[in-house]
Amino acid sequence: MTLDEAWRILQGRQFKRTKNRETILEFFSENDRYLTAMEVRNFMIEDNPGISFDTIYRNLTTFSELGILEETELNGERHFRMQCDHGVHHHHFICTACGKTRNIPHCPMESVSVNLQGYEVEGHKFEIYGKCPVCVEQ
Amino acid sequence: MTLDEAWRILQGRQFKRTKNRETILEFFSENDRYLTAMEVRNFMIEDNPGISFDTIYRNLTTFSELGILEETELNGERHFRMQCDHGVHHHHFICTACGKTRNIPHCPMESVSVNLQGYEVEGHKFEIYGKCPVCVEQ
DNA sequence: ACTAGTAATCGTAATCGTTCCTGTTTACCC
DNA sequence: GGGTAAACAGGAACGATTACGATTACTAGT
């Protein structure tokens, strides 16, 4: 997702264009990996030393709900990254050291043979964890 | 996993047979679903009003490491359940209302076509979330 | 451009799940 | 039964996240 696409979504829903939102989106568009609220804060604090976690979490949640960011949970912490390939369903290999991901186009839901009649499926998660080639060397 | 199997594992590693451990294992063997530390506490508190969270978490973590319980994270909280079909790799449909699960024998790792050469795979997670037939009716 | 109205923010305190700490109790081996 | 290390209770501390009242800053309408 590009910055322009993100702003188009936000302005289509009457969200205002603020400096904080610009900084957050800039950070994600320049860092193509899963990031924590703390990492976002450490970046923002240079421009805005008084930045509040309330602001960060509120915006991250908003962006996630609007499909601008995607979200996952790694060792008890929320992680966010810019939505990639918007619209096309996929999964990720996630590096547990740096947060970088690699797309996995195959979705296991297509080949699940279990009969889930009577069940109401709300979602699914398929992630592979490990170290990317760069972090293997460290 | 039966209570006998669990105790055989524990005693093989010189873990002591305490009242608290008996209560925890009894609770899991009678409740075939994912449970939180709080639910465990609410059950234990009847026998032992002074039960400490430290004791609960310490034992849940131990049991999980020994393969007696299996663990997953649902909306930011650790959930535990008795290890089912010990040894046989499988995945779960998980009811987000009651924590009950249904086994999914198919493992997506077998059909992942992405080349992960140079990567170090540490683990994976495949879970389907939704409502079980009982909770759909509520 | 000016102003009103409302969304967004700041700063701080509170919450929640989980872990740490210290002194005491308990299970197990002899 | 006595010694010893494991297990425990109670409470304090922790890190991530959320809630809150007061203030600031966008944006639309004049």
Nucleotide nearest to B54 (CA to C1'): C19
Over 80: is that where the pLDDT of A126 sits? yes
Give A45-87 pLDDT, tens digit per residue: 999 999 999 999 999 999 999 999 999 999 899 999 999 876 6
Give the pLDDT confidence score for residue A86 in this predicted structure.
61
pLDDT band at B87 (very low <50, low <70, confident <90, very high): low
Burial of B107 (0-12, 13-18, 19+ CB in 10 A): middle
Give the pLDDT confidence score for residue B89 in this predicted structure.
87
Q: Does at least one atom of strand C sit less than 7 Å from the CB of B36?
A: yes
The residues that bridge with A124 in the sheet, in sequence order, are B128
Give A80-121 pLDDT, tens digit per residue: 999 987 668 889 999 998 999 999 988 999 888 788 999 999
Over 80: is that where the pLDDT of B15 sits? yes
**Contact present, B78 and B71 (Cβ < 8 Å):** yes
What's the pTM?
Answer: 0.91
**Where in chain B are all domains bearing CATH 1.10.10.10?**
3-82
**Where in chain A are all domains bearing CATH 3.30.1490.190?**
91-137
Give the pLDDT confidence score for residue A75 in this predicted structure.
87
Quote the minimal CA–CA distance from B71 to chain A in Å: 12
Q: How many residues does chain B have?
A: 138
Of B73, B104, B116, the CB nearest to A112: B104
* Helical axes B37-47 vs B53-65, angle rounded to 10°: 120
- Residues A125, B129: C-beta atoms closer than 8 Å: yes
Which residues in chain B have their CB less than 8 angstroms from residue A136's CB? 118-120
Asked if CATH classification 3.40.50.2300 holds for the domain at A3-82, the reply, yes or no, is no
CATH class of this structure's domain B91-137: alpha beta
